[in-house]
Structure formats: C-alpha cells, structure tokens
Structure 1
Amino acid sequence: MRGRKGNRFARLLASLLDRPLPPGTRLAGRYELVEPLGMGSYGLSYLARDIGDGTLCVLKTDRLSRRWRRRPPSSLPAEAEALRACRHERVPRLLGLFRERGRWWIAMERKAGPTLESLLIEDAVRFTEAEALAFAWDVALLVKELHSRGYVHRDVRPPNLVLVPPGDGDAAGAGSAFRYGRAHLIDFGLARIIGSEPEKAGADTDVPEEKRLRRECAPRADWYALGHLLLFLLYSSYPGAPGDEPPAGESPDPGWERELELLPQTRRLLKRLLQSERAYESWPALEEDWQAALLASSCGVSSQS
C-alpha cells in the first residue's frame, strides 16, 4: 500500500513541477515561448521565438521532477556538445546553452515537417521494398557521418526523424522514396562519444536485450536501430490479413521473416543489422550488403544468398 501511495504522490508532484511554462514567458532575455511541443521521460520542449529576429526555434529543458527523484545530473550540456560536434545540415543547429530558473536550457534550430512516425501511422503512407531500402540508406549515411565525428546517436527512431522538403537541386531528394522530403535527425539527448561508458542500469539488472543493444556507446547500437527503422518502413506496406490463423503447431507471432516477402539480399541485411546473424563490425561490410539489396530491389530480381 505504501508503494502505491508513494507512486501517486510522485505522479502528483511531477504534474506540479513539470507543468509547462505559459506562452509569452521570456528566457535569457532573448527567447519567448510560443507553445509546448512535448514532454519526454527526461525533459520538456517548447516552440519559441527569437525576440531579436523573429525566427522560430526549439527550447529544451529538464523536468524538475527528476531532481526530486535524485536522478543523474542534467544531460543537456552533453547534448549541446554533441550537437556542436555533429553539426550537419540535417541535424538541428545549436543556438545556445544557458541556465535559467534553476535549470539548463538548450536553444536549437527548428526542423519543420512531419515525423516519419506520423507520416506512416497517421497518414498511412506506404513504402515499397526499394523505397524503404533507399530511404533508410539515406538515414544510414547521416548516421555514418555522425560516427565519423566520434558520436553514436543511440535513438534513431521514426519519431526522431523529421521529413524536411529537399532544397532546389538536391539530387538525393529525387525519387519516390523522398517524395515527402529527406529525414533530418533530432533529439541528441542519448548521443554519446563512441567508446564511452554506457549508463548503468541501477538496481535493475534485468535489462531487456533490445534496450541493451540500443544503449551501447558503439556504432553497432545505431546499426541495430537502422535495422528496426528499415523493418518499420517495410511493414508499412504489409497487408496484414486480420483474422487469419497460423497453421496448426506454429507460433501465433511468426515475426517478420515469415510475414514479409523480401528479396534474399534484404533479408540478409536485416538479419545482420538486427544481430540475429553475425553482426556487422565495420561500415564497409554494411555498405556492401546494403548496396547489393538496393541493386536487387531496383532490378526486381535477385540471386539466392
């Protein structure tokens, strides 16, 4: 009973401490809050306006309830450093880091557009196998660039990919896979220097395998995430067949290998990205397999592998 009361009290306190600031609030003598954008496990984000030039940007801050719960110190300074080190046209530009109202704040460029998650779930956009491979490969190239800067993102997921229309003459934005724009990667809150120590799981040592793989401070964490991203895109055109029963004696949850009709090259790529077969150890090996899958899907034929 004490545990239930404690949980209720924690939720009540969080609702009070983490209440969004009202529109019109001014911060750092430069930014004016327009509206809240969302609240995650660790922080809150706002759409804001630069008072000087009127441009819109995003402000991100910690949840005050984390301090009451004795959570680790703010990760926002580390996130700001990651944004600074990973500066790229498809990554939000860091505008500033400051302390106000007893907590850290990051100001960053606003990436305007729908997320990949909303595009696929709310708008029911469908990708063919060839389009899924091309789109995810474009994200992989961005991830590769981040790795060359010494950082692993560790949170490459559909809600963190914003579709921004390509600029004039942007050849990479041509083709049906990019009809809604190119993916820009946001939310560097979990980004870490490659080779650094991952966060400890605390008293709970029963960490799910997927979370462990995603939280490694190594390139394979992002490769694993790219595998799930590719799978997410491929499932966008899966017909489903509600009500169908699996054959007698077979699992009711057969998994993607049975449900998706894919070229052998795509299957091989997915298995290695998802580490159900020998995991990739380098970018050249991953690129070779991805290019083979892209070529096979563009030709509509494949060789058995």
Structure 2
Amino acid sequence: MRFYRTLKYAGKKFSQYTIDRLLGEGRYGLCFLARSESGNKVVIKKYKTSLGQKELPNCIDEAVILSKLKDKRIPAFLGVVNEKRFYGFVLEYKNGCTVKELLFKHNYKFTRREVFHTGLQLINIIQYLHENGVVHRDIRIPNVLMYQGKVCLIDFGLARWADKTYRYDLDFSYLGDFLLYLIYSSYEKKEKNKQLPWPKKLPWYEELSLTSEQQLFLRKLLGLEFVYENINDIKTDFIRAFSISRY
C-alpha cells in the first residue's frame, strides 16, 4: 500500500509544491515530503477526502495551534493546499531522525548524559506548549526528532487547547513512557536463570538500575504514585533525579 501511495503522488504538483515521497500514513491521511518552486523542502499533510463534519474540525485545530506557536523546536505552519481533490496543510520540514528510527532502525543506545539532555529538551518544549495553552497528547518516539543533539516535537494532529477535557497532565504519562524508551536502550539483560522453566518478566522499576529518586519520578509521571500537577514541578524533579552530576 505504501508503494502504491508513493507511485500515485510522487512527482505530482499541487499549488507551488511538488511531491517527492510518502513519509507516513495516519488516521486522517497521508504525510509527504515535497519541494517548493524555490527548492525548499516542506512537509504536506494530505487529509482524506472521506473525512466527515465531526473529524474536520479536529484537523483544523492543528493548523490553528501551529499558526499560533512560534518556536524553532516545532514545525511552522506554512499554508494550505486545496485543489484537485487534494486538501492538506503545508508544514516546515525539520531535519533529523525520529527517536523510533534511532532505537529500532539504527539500534542507538542513549547514554545517561544523553538521556538527561534529551529529556530536559523535551520537557522544555512541553513547558512552552503548556505556557501557551496547548496539550500535545501524542508525545511518542515517532514524534520526537533529533538532529545534531537538538530535539524537535512534531505531529500536532491530536493537539488541543487545554480545557477541562484536554488537561495538561495528559502529556505527562507520554513523557514517562518516552523516557523509559531512552533508558531501556542501553539496558543489558542479565543471563537467564537456567533453573526456571521460563524467564521471569520483571516490571521496569525492578529491571532497570535506577535510584529511588528516579523511580519515584517515573512512577509519578506514569500515574503509579501521586501524580504531578504541572510541568514546572516535573522539570525541577527531573533535573534533581537525572542530572549527570548526581550519579
């Protein structure tokens, strides 16, 4: 299916943009790498023509939110393409590799220093979003880009303005899960106990070599303990628990 999508759109021109290749496919549509007439790379998110009246406002939220945010760590909203049954948003292209690609394609192992600096950068981005009234709701390893040690957060398709339904703490468990991926990347499994008929599956807080402070921090993020109320407290506790000068 991916090959078919690439063949169908590759080389086609919509507005001032020429489609290069398919980057991915999601619930609401397709994501393409494209080039402007001046040769600049952009990302075009094409939405399905079958979207109903209930789904379309959710897509529009992404455009409105990105147009309000002005930060180099977040792709800028550049405009709309609407022609020939092709409707989509044009977004700034960000260089880099997703953390998912780093972990599962390149088998990258994050050092403790990198866990700290990557995590702190991501927390700073979340802090910026929350200060501007935005909840991302999809902070996962495919949506975090890294380039020369710098972090960018992409895919605002599920982002919403914060209210009683879309609370800031919706981002916290995603952050905890993201950090566990980084920590697990350098984890080395111990030799299996040959006396056991099957290997015992341990929870992360028993399997990983973490300080009690780090465990408590992650448990609170994941909702296993008293949960955090705001990103500022998370930032303070993360620095205290994971600062490379402390372990």
TM-score (norm 2): 0.89
The reply to whether residue 149 of structure 1 matches residue 132 of structure 2 is yes
Residues 278 and 251 from structure 1, CA distance in 2 versus in 1: closer, same or farther, beyond 3 angstroms?
farther
Match of 1:36 in 2: 22
- Superposed CA deviations along residues 166-212 of structure 1, whole A, max 9, x for unmatched, are xxxxxxxxxxxxxxx21111100000001164xxxxxxxxxxxxxxx
> Which of 233, 240, 245 is 2:182 aligned to?
233
CA contact (8 A) 2:135 2:159 kept: yes
The number of equivalent residue pairs is 244
**Cα distance in 2 between the residues matched to 1:195 and 1:145:** 17
> Which of 35, 39, 43 is 1:49 aligned to?
35
Match of 2:163 in 1: 195
Task: Look at both structures and tell me which one has the larger radius of gyration over its CA atoms.
Answer: 1
- Superposed CA deviations along residues 115-160 of structure 1, whole A, max 9, x for unmatched, are 1111122212212334313311210111100111110111111111
CA contact (8 A) 2:99 2:142 kept: yes
**Cα distance in 2 between the residues matched to 1:265 and 1:133:** 14
Match of 2:9 in 1: 22
Partner SS, residue 95 of structure 1: strand
Match of 2:49 in 1: 64
**Cα distance in 1 between the residues matched to 2:211 and 2:112:** 9
Residues 245 and 142 from structure 1, CA distance in 2 versus in 1: closer, same or farther, beyond 3 angstroms?
farther
Match of 2:152 in 1: 184
Give the AA of the match of 1:194: A
Residues 246 and 111 from structure 1, CA distance in 2 versus in 1: closer, same or farther, beyond 3 angstroms?
farther
Instruction: Write out aligned runs for 1:34-183 (5 A).
Output: 34-51=20-37, 53-66=38-51, 72-73=55-56, 75-102=58-85, 104-165=87-148, 181-183=149-151
CA contact (8 A) 1:130 1:298 kept: no
CA contact (8 A) 1:150 1:194 kept: yes
How far apart are 1:247 and its partner, in Å?
Answer: 7.0
- Superposed CA deviations along residues 77-133 of structure 1, whole A, max 9, x for unmatched, are 211111112221011111102422335310011112111111122212212334313
Q: Percent identity?
A: 31
**Cα distance in 1 between the residues matched to 2:195 and 2:42:** 50
Match of 2:220 in 1: 272
Residues 196 and 190 from structure 1, CA distance in 2 versus in 1: closer, same or farther, beyond 3 angstroms?
farther
Please, which runs of 5 or more residues in structure 2 have no aligned partner? none
Match of 1:291 in 2: 239
How far apart are 1:19 and its partner, in Å?
Answer: 4.1
| Structure 1 runs, 4 residues or longer, greater than 6 Å off | 245-248
Partner SS, residue 57 of structure 1: strand
TM-score (norm 1): 0.73
Q: How well do the aligned residues superpose, as a CA RMSD in angstroms? A: 2.5
- Superposed CA deviations along residues 65-86 of structure 1, whole A, max 9, x for unmatched, are 555xx87226332111111122
CA contact (8 A) 1:134 1:294 kept: no
CA contact (8 A) 1:83 1:92 kept: yes
Residues 278 and 118 from structure 1, CA distance in 2 versus in 1: closer, same or farther, beyond 3 angstroms?
same
Match of 1:172 in 2: none
**Cα distance in 2 between the residues matched to 1:247 and 1:107:** 55
CA contact (8 A) 1:86 1:151 kept: no
Please, which runs of 5 or more residues in structure 1 have no aligned partner? 1-14, 166-180, 198-216, 301-305
Residues 154 and 244 from structure 1, CA distance in 2 versus in 1: closer, same or farther, beyond 3 angstroms?
farther
Bigger RCO (CA 8 Å, 6+ sep): 2
Residues 104 and 246 from structure 1, CA distance in 2 versus in 1: closer, same or farther, beyond 3 angstroms?
farther
Give the AA of the match of 2:10: P
